[in-house]
Amino acid sequence: MRLLFASLTCAIALFAQAPAGAPTGAAAVREKYTKFEFEIPMRDGIKLFTAVYVPKDMAKGPYPILLQRTPYSVGPYGVDQYRPSLGPSEHFQKEGYIVAYQDVRGRYLSEGTWAEVRPHKPSKGPKDTDESTDTYDTIDWLVKNVRNNNGKVGMWGISYPGFYVSAGMIDAHPALVAASPQAPVTDYFLGDDSYHNGAFMLAANFGFYQSFVERKGDPAPPAPSVPFQFKTPDGYDFYLRMGGLGNAAEKYFQNAHPYWRENTQNTTLNEYWKARGIWRHLKGIKPAVMTVGGWFDAEDAQGPLRTHAFMEKNAAPKTNLLVMGPWTHGSWSRGDGDTVGNLHFGSKTAAFYREFIEFPFFQQHLKGKGEAKFPRAWVFGTGRNEWRQFETWPPAEAQTKPLYLAANNRLSWQPEAAAGYEEYLSDPNKPVPYLGYTVLGMARDYMTEDQRFASQRPDVLTFETDPLKEDLTIAGPIDVSLLVSTSGTDSDFVVKLIDVYPGDYPTLIEKSPTKMGGYQQLVRGEPFRGKFRKSFETAAPFVPNQPDRIEFAMPDVYHTFRKGHRLLVQVQSSWFPLTDRNPQKFMEIPKALASDFVKATQRVYRGKETGSRLILRILPGAM
């Protein structure tokens, strides 16, 4: 959600080459489509602004309808003002679809009051509304009132618009036959934009809420925005000087931003967050579903995985396809997708997805064209850099295998006979940065970044295998089981699984300043706020210096550690300013004062069956 989608949904580039002199952008849309603007009534009388683009070539109809609902504006406004492109990709505009864009309730030109991730109402009276009913009423109106449609509707949306797709699939209108929630906001507290295992995602949220503000007054188009002035290129320094989250609310939001307040004041998995977990309602879904996500999505990596998995266990639709590629947030919808950061994938993965996965999915279900057979999972394996199809995700053949933290900075496939521990001093006033270079906010590609800088810090523990004698492929979530203690009463523990390249590995991206020999590629990393080790609903302090267990799952990966590479695990207690700082004192962290941030000695215990370990899901023949 935290990426403002004006640049994504309003200005997706057309990548096909046009003949010389042919119109492009908005002119090309205007040539082939007629734009209409409607105020569609909902069951409670509220009207939602909707822009509809209808193909001018009536003879090729009737056409199906593609619908996107968004909180990020459907501009440009005015029937004579056209978008530069239509639909999920360039293929849909060429093919011919009716495409509808709607400002959701309470945003821009739509009436009503907007709510952050509006809760779903399982039981409703005739005038009760939520995002499911607003979608139903919109589709019902469109199929009855838009000329030359074939009575079939598809939905798509990325990030926050993906949430509206998920909501629209619940108790869906019969005309909704295909839906694609992409990087859908699914559960803010459990791994999406706001919290990861109780740790607040500071940089991304601060940047987002500076520009995503409450609409006050009557419906209106977007007002000119003034970018927030950080007055420094150094986000680490900016957020450190900011102090606690309470300072942010007062100094930078003037205690007047309701969405920032709701995020920072609800610090446990309470009823506020439970009501906003849309995935809990994805039972018995009727439309065909294609859920899309990116392995390197810094905002909603967990959303598509949780969405797909829950539907699989709760009367899944006949077509329930999970697509995961080597992408950052939403990047599958534009560009080639052959690189992320310093990584090169050897093919145009995003262009392949748009042409051979996404377009055929909608063509088949909305137009009856094609005979594509959709698997349960269509995923891109990093490391080997190849697409694979599976009938279950995680793959049924994957076998769990523990990887133990061992003495002398080693990782072992067998537990050590002798128990011991490693320790480090964590200072929240000198937190571990999440990147090895200066950056202002959350870098979109941090999930592939080089971790060599962190390996050199005394407050980061490292554990490494010997070079692999053959390829090792892991597929699925990574389970973490740490036995830890702290001299404080609360602490974060960040765990990172890293692929260490051989020293002679070539640099494949031309003119890259980063040499890939010895590169330590982040494969997956997650924080865990220790006070939630027993329950996310109720926090509990540590007993100082007493060992206790932390267990959690990191989001899925599909990655091959190639022969000659090493596996590396890092453990640390801050990841700044990606996450907020833990004062290492049991308290309501948004209320922490400067004096509350104290040093703590952290111990990570190893050895025997009870020692700290990661549990990997390994494909047979891959080790």
Which tens digits make up the pLDDT trace of 406-441?
Answer: 999 999 999 999 999 999 999 999 999 999 999 999
Residues near 213 by beta carbon (within 8 Å), at least 6 away in sequence:
257
Report the pLDDT value the prediction gives residue 11, as an integer from 0 to 100.
Answer: 39
Report the pLDDT value the prediction gives residue 623, as an integer from 0 to 100.
Answer: 45
- Strand ranges in 414-460 using DSSP code E only, listed in sequence order: 420-426
Report the pLDDT value the prediction gives residue 570, as an integer from 0 to 100.
Answer: 98
Report the pLDDT value the prediction gives residue 509, as an integer from 0 to 100.
Answer: 74
pTM for this entry: 0.94
Give the phi and the psi of residue 492 in degrees, each rounded to 5: -90, 150
Give the CATH class of 6-187+276-390.
Answer: alpha beta
Instruction: Please give the CATH topology (third level) of the domain spanning 399-618.
Output: Jelly Rolls (2.60.120)
Residues near 224 by beta carbon (within 8 Å), at least 6 away in sequence:
none
* Residue 139 token pair: 């589709």
Report the pLDDT value the prediction gives residue 512, as an integer from 0 to 100.
Answer: 77
Report the pLDDT value the prediction gives residue 165, as an integer from 0 to 100.
Answer: 98
Report the pLDDT value the prediction gives residue 15, as an integer from 0 to 100.
Answer: 36
Give the whole-angstrom CA distance, residue 156 versus residue 66.
7
For residue 62, is the peptide bond before it cis, meaning its omega torsion is within 30 degrees of 0? Answer: yes
Give the phi and the psi of residue 30 in degrees, each rounded to 5: -60, -35
Q: Tokens 């990655």 — which residue?
A: 559
**Domain boundaries defined on the chain:** 6-187+276-390, 399-618
Q: Is there a contact between 448 and 434 (Cβ–Cβ < 8 Å)?
A: no
Q: Is there a contact between 583 and 594 (Cβ–Cβ < 8 Å)?
A: no
Give the whole-angstrom CA distance, residue 271 versus residue 288.
31
Handedness of CA 264, 266, 272, 275 (dihedral sign): positive
Report the pLDDT value the prediction gives residue 54, as an integer from 0 to 100.
Answer: 98
The interaxial angle of helices 258-265 and 202-211, nearest 10 deg, is 160
Question: Using CB atoms within 10 A of its CB, is residue 115 exposed (0-12), middle (13-18) or buried (19+)?
Answer: middle
Give the whole-angstrom CA distance, residue 507 versus residue 339.
13
Give the whole-angstrom CA distance, residue 316 versus residue 326.
26
DSSP string over 571-621: EES--BTTSPPP-SSSS-GGG--GGG---EEEEEEESSTTS-EEEEEE-TT
Helix (H, G, I), strand (E, B) or coil at 396: coil
Q: Is there a contact between 457 and 424 (Cβ–Cβ < 8 Å)?
A: no
Give the whole-angstrom CA distance, residue 531 versus residue 490.
6
Q: Tokens 């190893």 — which residue?
A: 606
Residue 238 to residues 456, 576, 598, Cα–Cα distance (Å): 23, 11, 20
* Residue 204 token pair: 């991304």
pLDDT digits (tens, 9 = 90+) for 498-509: 999 999 998 877
Q: Is there a contact between 395 and 476 (Cβ–Cβ < 8 Å)?
A: yes
Q: Tokens 């589709």 — which residue?
A: 139
Tell me whether the CATH fold assigned to 6-187+276-390 matches the one assigned to 399-618: no
* Residue 396 token pair: 């049924």
Residues near 235 by beta carbon (within 8 Å), at least 6 away in sequence:
203, 438, 439, 440, 441, 577
Largest CA-CA distance found in the chain, in angstroms, rounded: 78
* Residue 491 token pair: 């602490």
List, for the chain, all residue ranges whose pLDDT scores fall below the cut of 50: 2-17, 623
Report the pLDDT value the prediction gives residue 621, as an integer from 0 to 100.
Answer: 75
Give the whole-angstrom CA distance, residue 247 versus residue 242.
6
* Residue 203 token pair: 């940089």
The interaxial angle of helices 160-169 and 131-145, nearest 10 deg, is 80
